């Protein structure tokens, strides 16, 4: 079983600012060979957290961004024709099971419904992956871990995990960090000073509390980092805010104007 990285290598890990006990829960779940479900809004740090934990535990990471056309074959593998010969090509899930490591399915509910059925034998005490096309039945090694994520606030009622699937995972709920934590993230990742990071986080809080406008998503920590990077590169603050924090949230002129008004209250014209 892979050992966690030594403390002296901690600075080389993908940056992640812990919010509560999520790191302990994740590591314990891995040691107990339990799958993990991570719930939370877009851009709140789910993917970075998984990358951080994979590096901390010294595990390879196989990431799959799920979409409407993702099939079971995309995860497990398929036969391909090369040079006149037919050969089997493992998908990312199969590779993770063979090699040991974390297979991370981001926004798993976006995948086709029949895809999640493939995961079931890996999420109970069997920890196996049957491959019908090759007749194999792979036993997951101790280092293998299945992690899935999705955004429960965004998904349509028809795009959610069945209770029978959800109850195969231990679950972590993510949200946008507390202001002091988000400030540290924006300052570190965006390359700006503490004062500007604090202003951006305050602005994000104001936008997240904005009511009366049809915003599918709130401004994310990821977008705050993007905005900070633009400012750090020399872009004017107002233009950076419009480019990174306002335009990605809506296409409606009235909504864009309202969001820019909030920006102006924080930074002025």
Q: Which residues contact residue 70 at a Cβ distance below 8 angstroms, ignoring those fewer than 6 apart?
A: 64, 110, 111, 112, 115
* pLDDT band, residue 8 (cuts 50/70/90): very low
Q: Take residue 111 and report the two structure tokens written for it.
A: 């995948």
Helix 179-190 / helix 221-232 crossing angle, nearest 10 deg:
40
- Find the helix or strand (DSSP H, E) in which 207 lies: helix 194-208
DSSP 83-98: TTEEEEEE-HHHHHHH
CA triple 137-139-143, angle to 5 deg? 150
Looking at residues 206-215, what average pLDDT do you find? 78
- Residue 168 to residue 121: CA distance in whole angstroms: 10
How far are the Cα atoms of 47, 71, 83, 219 from residue 228, in angstroms, in the given order? Answer: 20, 37, 50, 13
Given a cut of 50, whether residue 205 has pLDDT beyond it is yes
Given a cut of 50, whether residue 197 has pLDDT beyond it is yes
Strand partners, 86: 81
Condensed to tens digits (0 to 9), the pLDDT of residues 245-257 reads 999 999 999 999 9
Average pLDDT along the chain: 89
Condensed to tens digits (0 to 9), the pLDDT of residues 220-234 reads 999 999 999 999 999
Condensed to tens digits (0 to 9), the pLDDT of residues 24-45 reads 999 999 999 999 999 998 888 9
pLDDT at residue number 157: 46
* pLDDT band, residue 212 (cuts 50/70/90): low
How many CB atoms within 10 Å of residue 101?
Answer: 22
Predicted model pTM: 0.83
The DSSP code for 243 is I
């Amino acid at each position: 079983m892979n050992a966690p990285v030594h403390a002296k290598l901690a600075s080389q890990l993908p940056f992640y600012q812990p919010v509560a006990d999520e790191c302990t829960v994740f590591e314990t779940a891995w040691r107990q060979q339990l799958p993990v479900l991570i719930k939370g809004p877009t851009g709140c740090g789910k993917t970075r957290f998984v990358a951080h934990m994979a590096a901390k535990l010294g595990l390879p990471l196989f990431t799959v961004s799920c979409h409407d056309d993702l099939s079971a074959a995309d995860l497990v593998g398929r036969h391909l024709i090369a040079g006149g010969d037919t050969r089997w090509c493992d998908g990312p899930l199969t590779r993770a099971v063979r090699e040991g490591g974390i297979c991370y399915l981001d926004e798993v509910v976006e995948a086709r419904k029949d895809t999640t059925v493939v995961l079931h034998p890996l999420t109970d005490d069997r920890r196996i992956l049957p491959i019908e096309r090759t007749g194999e039945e792979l036993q997951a090694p101790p280092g293998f871990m299945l992690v899935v994520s999705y955004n429960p606030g965004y998904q349509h009622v028809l795009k959610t995990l069945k209770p029978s699937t959800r109850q195969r995972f231990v679950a972590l709920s993510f949200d946008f960090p507390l202001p002091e934590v988000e400030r540290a993230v924006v300052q570190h990742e965006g390359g700006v000073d503490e004062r500007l990071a604090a202003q951006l986080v305050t602005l994000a809080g104001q936008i997240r509390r904005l009511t009366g406008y049809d915003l599918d998503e709130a401004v994310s920590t990821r977008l705050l980092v993007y905005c900070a990077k633009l400012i750090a590169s020399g872009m004017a603050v107002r233009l950076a805010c419009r480019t990174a924090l306002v335009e990605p949230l809506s296409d409606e002129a009235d909504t864009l104007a309202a969001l820019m008004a909030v920006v102006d209250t924080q930074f002025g014209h």
